[in-house]
């Protein structure tokens, strides 16, 4: 499993590989009526499509906070059981269309941005489905590490209806070993 320097390099490589692609996956739409102040705070990664930059990480969380420049500070954190240590990456995000559309561009290193598209949120802002710029990047998020089966099934159905390969989603462990 990569150390923090490797993680940063991998995230930078991801952004470069995407060529700064900030679009929305084909056939998908970002949520409208988005309220950033309700979205800020800690989210737990419940399931994701596998990527080299998160491979092997458990207890993955994302924290969103306001930046002084009006953007959003992003802190992604996950536990690497192979190294027995936490990996963390800090980035920044800015709205692509306007603050009422759940569509941002996020950068962890330099000028390379990638799409961060909130495709679905429940009314309470407790569960979210987020995609990158294409169908290769998907995250199911929740405010708590445990999601009931009914909600999880609903999230999988929404992801599938948006064209994602839900069979490829991997569940993220939040158990402490």
- In angstroms, what CA-CA distances link 122 with 24, 35, 117, 142, 158? 20, 12, 15, 10, 11
Q: What is the 3-state secondary structure (H, E, C) of 37-60?
A: HHHCEEEEEEEEECCCCCCCCEEE
Mean pLDDT value across residues 2-28: 59
pLDDT score of 110 = 74
pLDDT score of 122 = 98
pLDDT score of 10 = 44
pLDDT score of 5 = 46
Q: For the chain, where are the E strands, in sequence order?
A: 41-49, 58-66, 72-80, 85-95, 103-107, 114-121, 127-131, 138-142, 169-171
**Domain boundaries, given as residue ranges, for the chain:** 4-171
pLDDT score of 32 = 97
Q: What is the CATH number of domain 4-171?
A: 2.40.128.20
**Is this prediction's pTM over 0.85?**
yes
pLDDT score of 176 = 74
Q: Say how far apart CA 134 and CA 60 lie, in whole Å.
A: 21
Which burial class, exposed, middle or buried, applies to 75 when counting CB atoms under 10 A from its CB (0-12, 13-18, 19+)?
middle
Look over the chain and give the mean of its residue pLDDT values, rounded to a whole number.
Answer: 89
Provide the pairing of β-strand 127-131 with 114-121.
antiparallel
pLDDT exceeds 80 at position 4: no
Instruction: Write the pLDDT tens digit of every residue in 112-137.
Output: 889 999 999 999 999 999 999 999 99
pLDDT score of 137 = 95
- Give the count of beta carbons closer than 10 Å to the beta carbon of residue 116: 27
Report yes or no: 16 and 103 within 8 Å, Cβ to Cβ. no
Binning pLDDT at 50, 70 and 90, where does residue 52 land? confident
């Amino acid at each position: 499993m990569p150390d923090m320097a490797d993680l940063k390099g991998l995230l930078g490589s991801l952004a470069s590989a995407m060529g700064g692609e900030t679009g929305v996956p084909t056939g998908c739409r970002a949520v409208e009526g988005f309220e950033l102040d309700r979205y800020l705070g800690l989210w737990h990664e419940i399931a994701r499509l596998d990527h080299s930059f998160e491979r092997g990480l458990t207890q993955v969380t994302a924290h969103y906070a306001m930046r002084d420049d009006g953007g959003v500070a992003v802190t992604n954190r996950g536990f690497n059981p192979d190294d027995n240590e936490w990996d963390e990456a800090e980035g920044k995000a800015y709205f692509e269309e306007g603050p009422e559309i759940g569509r941002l561009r996020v950068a962890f290193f330099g000028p390379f941005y990638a799409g961060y598209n909130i495709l679905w949120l429940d009314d309470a802002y407790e569960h979210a489905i987020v995609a990158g710029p294409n169908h290769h990047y998907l995250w199911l998020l929740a405010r708590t590490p445990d999601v009931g089966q009914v909600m999880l099934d609903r999230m999988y159905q929404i992801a599938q209806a948006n064209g994602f390969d839900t069979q490829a989603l991997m569940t993220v462990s939040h158990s402490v070993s």
